[in-house]
């Protein structure tokens, strides 16, 4: 069986989970392997999540425990490794989120399995798995291979088409886990919530860089354009470091990777670390007053000019 | 205490990427210490400068050239270096077998490693090493403080950030924003030449990689590059909106 560890947020199954289910289906096609998909839901008060995901898989395993209220790499890896072993999984799929990428290596070590990180394609043939992934800050596409009875794979978000739920629901089972005591104690959190569509789920992302001038400039130009287009907002590291925007909006090597249909970069120079988080976007639009800015090299459309004049003009035009 | 900082040597971010023989060719390119690892070296130095008695050992696995990156760590202030030499490209799970054994041999209680590798884009080394050692881990730290054996700090999570506390031993990943790494000064570069650089062979670590690297390609998406002159802002705005609406059809 293929084990998919369900990712969810704010009471809903995340898009990344539906993408993992497609990756699981893709991998099993013509492989001669057991292609049944088991979803594993870890957390506390997750009945709604389990019911939602049951519509797209063959079986749902639920560990609904107070001990799983807070994500922890040691807890999650112990749970996933135990279920993978008991269920004799051949493939364990984990989301390519920050947490997924953090605990998946522990699962691989526990299972003595290869780890294929952040894959964008996945094919199985007998015991051999072949996958592609981006390397060199997303400038290179590499093909990797592993032959093993069980493998751990993280799925790059935003690449596979999300699976569509069916009418009937798969059976759900509660599971018993023997869990370690977490050693990383979380004492406080700063959760940054936005009323806009999520950055990694949005069809259009409008991002701003230092060229917007100030935190106020970001609101005046980037947020205004995003709201006009129903888009999510993103930011460069430079302005996150400057305190203009929260870290949760950062796009790039140390922030989020996005792959929207349209990415609009406003006052962003286009450093490789930023590009690595958005260079797979379908259409890229750039506005920058420097014609030599590297962002224009990967832009489909752009204007060389001043943000303070161009964005108000674009907003006027959009309202026509 | 003893701190290990894992060092990787990667292509400078400004260099372009070339492929030869199904892999990225690094000959004749500028190679540097992975920026993400510099923050770990710097943080180890700062812990020591804050009054903690610590020996800082820079560790790398890789071909002969990797010792240049280790020298940089020594010139920044690390005390000595261990270079496990191999020409075989190893994935992070395989490298963790080496790093965890070195940590045990060296009786280290803290390991720093970069949050994401600038070449393989991997996050896995820290967690895999922690698991082999049965240590806890904390990734993507942006602030750290050590009092006795208690490590406190701040790190990035899926959404927003978290404040944490942790008892050593532990593996910690570093990133931009944690600190401002120092540049090696000329006297320190001179001094570093006399520091110990121990060579180890990979053989003794019993590493059998499970991952095979098959091919690498640079796939550049063709871009339209329709760049307008924005001197007349209303005209350029009208033209761009028209293109996005009627040519690209990406906005309503
Ligand atoms: C290890 C590491 C990790 C990193 N991770 C990330 C990451 O995840 N994400 C990220 O974004 N960066 C990251 N960086 C930083 C990155 O290298 C750049 O410094 C950053 O992306 C630059 O941000 P920027 O484009 O906003 O600023 P700048 O590079 O300063 O560019 C501002 C641009 O605005 C233009 N401009 C100025 N005024 C106007 C105006 N009035 N009208 C029009 N245009 C104007 C300028 O021409 C310029 O091109 C990382 C760096 C390192 C070393
Ligand atoms: N087969 C290889 N060819 C070229 N460089 C390599 C190879 N294997 C490892 N390296 C380099 O060795 C260093 C250590 O890599 P790693 O083992 O991934 O930590 C890095 O500089 C890698 O780029």
Residues in Cβ contact with A252 at an 8 Å cutoff, skipping those fewer than 6 apart: A236, A237, A271, A273, A274, A275, A276, A277, A278
Range of the domain at A57: 2-174
SS3 state at A160? coil
Asked if A316 and B237 count as a contact pair (C-beta separation under 8 A), the reply is yes
* A271 and A156 within one domain: no
pLDDT, one tens digit for every residue, chain B (252 residues): 999 999 999 999 889 899 998 899 998 899 999 999 999 999 999 999 999 999 999 999 999 999 999 999 999 999 999 999 999 999 999 999 999 999 999 999 999 999 999 999 999 999 999 999 999 999 999 999 999 999 999 999 988 889 999 999 999 999 988 999 999 999 999 999 999 999 999 999 999 999 999 999 997 788 999 999 999 999 999 999 999 999 999 998
Q: What CATH number has the domain bearing residue B35?
A: 3.40.50.620
Model confidence band, residue A210 (pLDDT cutoffs 50, 70, 90) = very high
Instruction: Please compute, for residue B19, the number of CA atoms within 13 A of its CA located in the half-sphere on the CB side.
Output: 16
Question: pLDDT value at position A179?
Answer: 96
* B235 and B123 within one domain: no
Question: Is the bond leading into B169 cis (omega within 30 degrees of zero)?
Answer: yes
* A141 and A255 within one domain: no
With a cut of 80, say whether residue A126 has pLDDT above it. yes
Among A35-49, A237-251, B102-116, whose mean pLDDT is lowest? A237-251
Question: pLDDT value at position B221?
Answer: 82
Q: How do B2-6 and B141-147 pair as beta strands?
A: unpaired
* A215 and A94 within one domain: no
Residue A182 lies in a domain: no
Question: pLDDT value at position B227?
Answer: 97
Range of the domain at B188: 2-205
Reported ipTM: the value is 0.89
* A164 and A15 within one domain: yes
Residues 113-132 of B with CB under 8 A from A: 115-116, 118-128, 130-132
| Alpha helices, DSSP H, located in A162-248 | 215-217, 224-229, 237-241
* B31 and B141 within one domain: yes
Asked if A131 and A119 count as a contact pair (C-beta separation under 8 A), the reply is yes
Residue A267 lies in a domain: yes
Q: How many domains does chain A have?
A: 2
Q: What is the mean pLDDT of chain A?
A: 95
Question: Could you report the per-residue pLDDT of B189-199, keeping only the tens digit for each?
Answer: 999 999 999 99
Question: pLDDT value at position A253?
Answer: 87
* A256 and A153 within one domain: no
Q: How many domains does chain B have?
A: 2
> What is the rounded distance in angstroms from the CA atom of residue B34 to the CA atom of residue B118?
6
CA of B92, closest atom in ligand 2: 18
H/E segment holding residue A143: strand A140-147
* B174 and B102 within one domain: yes
CA of B39, closest atom in ligand 1: 1
**Percent of all residues in chain A with a pLDDT value above 70, rounded to a whole number:** 100
* B159 and B131 within one domain: yes
For range A261-275, the mean pLDDT: 96
Question: Could you report the per-residue pLDDT of A143-179, keeping only the tens digit for each?
Answer: 999 999 999 999 999 889 999 999 899 999 999 999 9
Q: What CATH number has the domain bearing residue A70?
A: 3.40.50.620
* A161 and A267 within one domain: no
* A130 and A236 within one domain: no
* A40 and A126 within one domain: yes
Using an 8 Å CB-CB cutoff, list chain B residues near A254. Answer: 115-116, 140, 175-177
Question: pLDDT value at position A175?
Answer: 97
* A208 and A170 within one domain: no
Residue A198 lies in a domain: no
* B68 and B22 within one domain: yes
Tokens of B22: 């199904």
Question: pLDDT value at position B220?
Answer: 79
Q: Among partner residues A117, A254, A285, which is closest to B244 by beta-carbon distance? A: A285
CA of A168: how far to CAs of A56, A165, B249, in Å? 9, 9, 36
Residues 218-277 of A with CB under 8 A from B: 229, 237, 241, 246-248, 253-254, 261-262, 271-273, 276
* A150 and A215 within one domain: no
* B174 and B75 within one domain: yes
Residues 18-57 of B with CB under 8 A from A: 19, 24
Looking at CA atoms only, how far is residue A158 from chain B in angstroms?
15
């Amino acid at each position: 069986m293929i084990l998919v560890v369900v990712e969810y947020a704010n009471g809903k199954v995340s898009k990344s989970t539906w993408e993992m289910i497609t990756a699981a289906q893709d991998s099993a096609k013509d492989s001669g392997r057991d292609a049944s998909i088991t979803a594993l839901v870890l957390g506390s008060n997750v009945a709604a999540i389990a019911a939602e995901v049951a519509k797209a898989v063959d079986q749902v395993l639920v560990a609904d425990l107070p001990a799983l209220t807070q994500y922890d790499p040691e807890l999650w890896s112990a749970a996933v490794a135990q279920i993978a072993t008991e269920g004799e999984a051949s493939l364990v799929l984990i989301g390519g989120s920050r947490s997924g990428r953090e605990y998946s290596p522990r699962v691989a070590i526990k299972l003595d399995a290869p780890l294929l990180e952040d894959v964008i394609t996945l094919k199985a043939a007998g015991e051999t798995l072949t996958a592609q992934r981006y390397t060199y800050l997303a400038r290179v596409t590499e093909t990797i291979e592993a032959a093993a009875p069980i493998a751990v794979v993280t799925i790059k978000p935003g690449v596979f088409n999300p699976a569509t739920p069916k009418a009937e629901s798969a059976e759900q089972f509660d599971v018993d886990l023997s869990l370690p005591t977490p050693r990383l104690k979380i004492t406080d959190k700063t959760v940054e919530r936005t009323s806009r569509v999520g950055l990694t789920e949005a069809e259009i992302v409008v991002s701003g860089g230092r060229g917007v001038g100030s935190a106020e400039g970001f609101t005046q130009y980037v947020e205004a354009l995003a709201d006009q287009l129903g888009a999510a907002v993103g930011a460069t590291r430079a302005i996150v470091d400057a305190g203009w925007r929260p870290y949760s909006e950062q796009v790039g090597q140390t922030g989020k990777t996005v792959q929207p249909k349209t990415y609009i970069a406003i006052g962003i120079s286009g450093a490789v670390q930023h590009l690595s988080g958005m260079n797979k976007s379908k259409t890229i639009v750039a506005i920058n007053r420097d014609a030599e800015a590297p962002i224009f090299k990967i832009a489909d459309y752009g204007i060389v000019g001043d943000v303070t004049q161009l964005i108000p003009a674009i907003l006027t035009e959009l309202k026509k | 205490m003893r701190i290990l900082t894992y060092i990787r040597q990667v292509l400078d971010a400004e260099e372009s990427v070339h492929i030869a023989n199904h892999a990225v060719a690094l000959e004749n390119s500028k190679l540097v210490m992975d920026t993400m690892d510099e923050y770990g070296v710097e943080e180890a130095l700062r812990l020591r400068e804050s009054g903690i008695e610590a020996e800082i050992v820079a560790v790398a696995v890789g071909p002969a050239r990797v010792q240049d990156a280790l020298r940089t760590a020594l010139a920044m202030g690390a005390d000595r270096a261990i270079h496990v030499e191999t020409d075989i490209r190893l994935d992070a799970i395989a490298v963790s077998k080496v790093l965890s054994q070195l940590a045990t041999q060296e009786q280290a209680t803290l390991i720093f490693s970069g949050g994401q590798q600038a070449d393989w884009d991997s996050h896995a080394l820290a967690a895999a090493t922690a698991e082999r050692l049965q240590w806890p881990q904390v990734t993507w730290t942006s602030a750290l403080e050590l009092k006795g054996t208690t490590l406190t700090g701040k790190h990035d999570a899926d959404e927003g950030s978290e404040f944490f506390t942790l008892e050593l031993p532990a593996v910690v990943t570093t990133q931009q924003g944690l600190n401002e790494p120092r540049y090696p000064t000329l006297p320190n570069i001179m001094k570093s030449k006399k520091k110990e650089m121990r060579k180890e062979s990979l053989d003794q670590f019993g590493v059998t990689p499970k991952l095979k690297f098959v091919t690498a390609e640079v796939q550049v998406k063709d871009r339209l590059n329709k760049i307008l002159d924005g001197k007349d802002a209303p005209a350029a705005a009208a033209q761009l909106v028209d293109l996005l609406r009627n040519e690209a059809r990406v906005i309503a």
